[in-house]
Structure 1
């Protein structure tokens, strides 16, 4: 399995718009190939927002990133105060 982390910085007053965007994106994300799960995180000060999606394969995670980027378009232009950060990682399951 692979995880795709997508995070960005914003301000607390933008949270309603961010939650609406997350709801819309989730409806689409769960239809993509290899989707396993999604979690959306908000820092305690409501200045950092992160989506944490799990995918069956690295190809699924990377392909989803391209598709989601196109779907997201310019939606963060009025929300984010810095460019988003994206990280794809392999999930390791301990043997013990």
Structure 2
């Protein structure tokens, strides 16, 4: 499972002039397992910044496009590595 690394709790804010809204995000890295990471932004909305550490991507952040392609939602939720995971439903 790929791991997301948060190196800094710094939040980037960008003013959208047409709406007057402020977009808040945080840059994190997706560890590819070959010594490299792929940086990407995690939208925060009004949520607090993620603290430095290692995280998994919450499965509820994934979805499917109209064509069946795997996508990520507007807001990607991160779960600390080693955090208790919900128990699987029994059939």
Q: Where on the TM-score scale, by shorter chain, does this alignment land: which range?
A: under 0.3
Give the alignment's TM-score, normalised by structure 1.
Answer: 0.25
TM-score, with structure 2 as normaliser? 0.25
Which structure shows the higher strand fraction? 2
Larger radius of gyration: 2
Q: Which has the higher contact order (CA 8 A, sep 6+)?
A: 1
The structure carrying a bigger helix percent of its residues is 1
